[in-house]
């Protein structure tokens, strides 16, 4: 009997007697952490001041929202080995609000922060014994905006000494796909992607040097971001 054949038989025997590692089972908590990148697919109403395009740009004067990366944390409770309820949280995302459409993207109009807690019902098609665990989910996203600020450029465009920006919170649908690869029974690698329907009504209120209200402009902004996460999984 050759040495290679003996090694092959030994390896097969070890695999046969080794217990299969269980991935996710009913009652498990699955915690995932890592980097989360939000890439808005934004659009907005055309913005005018007194009927004229902002900063003298063309008729398609809009705003855009830049991308941002933060620390993300997700938790899933497994009702069965195939169905779980997932919650997404993250450190606050910070976005610059810039020009869009006919208005140059180099023009900064303001900035905002937001938190996007998201709840999804997740389906895991693979058996619990599989180290590879793809999943898909559908649910709802609630986005809270805060620390909104306008820029001096916007103040000058609306003829104000200073101005306020208010963004309404948003509730919309969310879908996700992802995968875990379990390196041990409790620890693994994770990658996931989401799409969230995030729409907000923006209100800019301008004031003169004495604090008197000059004008108020309102417009709708659709952010609708793709959200990407890569990190680690811990199951207990």
Q: In angstroms, rounded to a whole number, what is the distance separating the alpha carbons of residues 188 and 30?
A: 10
- Model pTM? 0.80
pLDDT recorded at residue 10: 41
Alpha-carbon span 117 to 107, nearest angstrom: 30
Residue range 99-122: mean pLDDT, rounded: 85
Question: What percentage of the chain has pLDDT greater than the value 90?
Answer: 54
Output the CA angle 212-213-216, nearest 5 degrees: 170
Q: Residues 131, 182: contact at Cβ < 8 Å?
A: yes
**Closest by alpha carbon to 178, among 84, 115, 71, 68?**
84
Residue 56 DSSP symbol: G
- Summarize pLDDT for 12-60 with one digit per residue, the tens: 443 344 444 567 899 999 999 999 999 998 777 776 655 555 655 555 6
Cα separation, 148 vs 143, in Å, equals 14
Are the beta carbons of 68 and 93 closer than 8 angstroms? yes
Query: pLDDT tens digits for 158-217?
Result: 777 888 889 999 999 999 999 999 999 999 999 999 999 999 998 888 888 888 887 777
Q: What is the mean pLDDT of residues 72-84?
A: 96
Q: Which CATH entry fits the domain spanning 27-235: 2.40.160.20, 3.60.110.10, 3.40.50.300, 2.60.40.420?
A: 2.40.160.20
Give the start-to-end residue ranges of the domains of the chain.
Answer: 27-235
How far apart CA 140 and CA 65 sit, in angstroms, is 22
CA distance 164 to 169: 16
Q: Out of 63-77, 150-164, 215-229, which region has the weakest mean confidence (pLDDT)?
A: 150-164
Question: What is the reported pLDDT for 18?
Answer: 40
From the list 108, 124, 33, 127, the residue with the least C-alpha distance to 64 is 108
- Quick one: CA dihedral 79, 81, 84, 88, positive or negative? positive
């Amino acid at each position: 009997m050759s040495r290679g054949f003996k090694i092959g038989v030994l390896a097969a025997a070890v695999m046969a007697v080794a217990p299969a590692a269980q991935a996710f089972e009913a009652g498990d908590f699955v915690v995932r952490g890592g980097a989360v990148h939000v890439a808005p697919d934004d659009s907005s109403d055309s913005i005018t001041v007194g009927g004229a395009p902002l900063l003298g740009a063309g008729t398609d004067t809009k705003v855009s929202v830049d991308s941002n990366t933060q620390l993300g944390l997700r938790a899933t409770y497994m009702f069965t080995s195939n169905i779980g309820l997932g919650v997404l949280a993250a450190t606050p995302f910070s976005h610059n609000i810039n020009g869009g459409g006919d208005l140059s993207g180099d023009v900064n109009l303001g900035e905002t922060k937001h938190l996007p807690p998201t709840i999804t019902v997740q389906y895991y098609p693979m058996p619990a014994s599989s180290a590879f665990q793809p999943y898909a989910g559908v649910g709802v996203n609630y986005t809270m905006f805060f620390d909104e600020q306008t820029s001096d450029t916007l103040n000058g465009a609306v003829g104000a000494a200073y101005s306020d920006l208010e963004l309404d919170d948003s509730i919309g649908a969310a879908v996700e796909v992802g995968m875990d690869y379990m390196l041990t029974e409790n620890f693994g690698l994770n990658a996931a992607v989401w799409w969230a329907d995030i729409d907000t009504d923006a209100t800019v209120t301008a004031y003169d040097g004495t604090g008197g209200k000059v004008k108020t402009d309102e417009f709708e902004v659709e952010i609708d971001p793709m959200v990407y996460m890569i990190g680690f999984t811990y199951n207990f």
